[in-house]
Amino acid sequence: MDFTLSEEQLMIQQAARDFAQNELLPEVIERDDAQRFPSEQVAKMGELGFLGMMVDPKYGGSGLDTLSYVLVMEELSKVDASASVVVSVNNSLVCYGLEAYGTEEQKQKYLPRLATGETIGAFCLSEPEAGSDATSQKTTAIDKGDHYILNGTKNWITNGSTAGIYLVIAQTHVDKGHKGINALIVEKGAKGFEIGPKENKLGIRGSDTHSLNFNDVKVPKENRIGEDGFGFKFAMKTLAGGRIGIAAQALGIAAGAYELAKKYAKERKAFGTEIANHQAIAFKLADMHTQIEAARHLVYKAAWDKDNGSDYDLSGAMAKLYASQVAMETTIEAVQIHGGNGYVKDYHVERLMRDAKITQIYEGTSEIQKIVISRNILKG
């Protein structure tokens, strides 16, 4: 494996870095305080092609590889994880799910709007009683011949009120268990589809997170993704790629905190010299740098596996598990290096610390990643 970036990848990385500094950094603290969705910035990311990075150009996408997507996620997440999670969900879950498993008619109808940012998507799996357990869905989609009647509640849905297209996982044949689950495309504005209040979160506060209620929503049969009963496999295959995006987000949060801590340590003086010259601080920076580089290699390896057609279930889970741990540990240390200033919002690291925690929770908690990893290493 050669992780030397191509000229095109370096240009994409720089474009994302410039966008993060010029478009996301201004007012990022204010957006976090107000829990304000970055609508203008998301629209600009659509114009730059960040919302459909791996989508075939014939459907309006950029046609890029997974590594390029990871590079963009890392740079955006260094500054604003609330914005980068929109990129993650739209690319890894919604666009990927539709392009990989949708019909040609579904691709033609939905992908151009999603890939260009005309609208954004949401992936609806989590439920109040089931979390991310796709085998325990309480939301039902009852077969009525040419359509389904959808009932149930989904929660913790990213882009909950701002999305226009929702991929909803629901149980059709209860007696068949996970083999009776379907994935349905639901458009905003459907009769009986209600959006609940916005969640007041610890971190990624600019992200638009809501519960969704489906009350006798009529969904045409042509909006089902895959064959009858394919929903569970669809969710599992889609989430496997989603882990790579979240791993890249965690990597970016860690790298952003490290860069701020290093800069601060080289400027802040204590006991007659810059604090970076004190071994206690220098060793913290050394550990942070080493852990971030290790996480970066795991994330790049998972992206490489996906791009080369290899099984990325294991590598994606390892990348997500380790990168999220590094994000949490690094941001805590970044706050510590800043001392009292680290507890102040103006220095950004307290926000990155709050944002880091979610990377250990969504797309499956750290404990779920360990289940995925252990099953992969113990099988056969």
In this structure, the number of other CB atoms found within 10 A of the CB of residue 287 comes to: 13
Q: Residue 277: CB partners within 8 Å, gap ≥ 6?
A: none
The one-letter amino acid code at 120 reads I
Contact between 60 and 71 under an 8 Å Cβ cutoff? The reply is no
Please name the amino acid found at residue 183. Answer: A
DSSP state of 119: S
- Amino acid (1-letter code) at residue 162: T
For residues 73 and 250, the answer to whether their CB atoms sit within 8 Å is: no
Between the two ends of the chain, the Cα-to-Cα distance in Å is 26
What burial letters (b/e) apply to 313-352, b meaning 16+ CB within 10 Å? Answer: bbbbbbbbbbbbbbbbbbbebbbebbeeebeeeebbbbbb
- 148 sits in the region (left: phi over 0; alpha: psi -120 to 50; else beta) called beta
Task: Give the dihedral sign, CA 133/220/116/312.
Answer: positive
Residue 293 among the catalytic residues: no
Report the distance separating Cα 142 and Cα 147, nearest Å.
8
φ, ψ at 170 (rounded to 5°): -145, 155
Rounded to 10°, the helix 81-88/231-267 angle is 150
**Among 171, 218, 167, residue whose Cα is nearest residue 191:** 218
Letter for the amino acid at 137? Q
Contacts of 336 (CB under 8 A, 6+ apart): 284, 342
Contact indicator for 276, 285 with CB cutoff of 8 Å: yes
Contacts of residue 136, defined as CB under 8 A and 6 or more positions apart, other chains included, come to 127, 129, 130
Q: Which one from 75, 127, 350, 363 is the annotated catalytic residue? A: 363
- DSSP assignment of 203-220: S-TTS-EEEEEEEEEEEE
Active site amino acids:
363
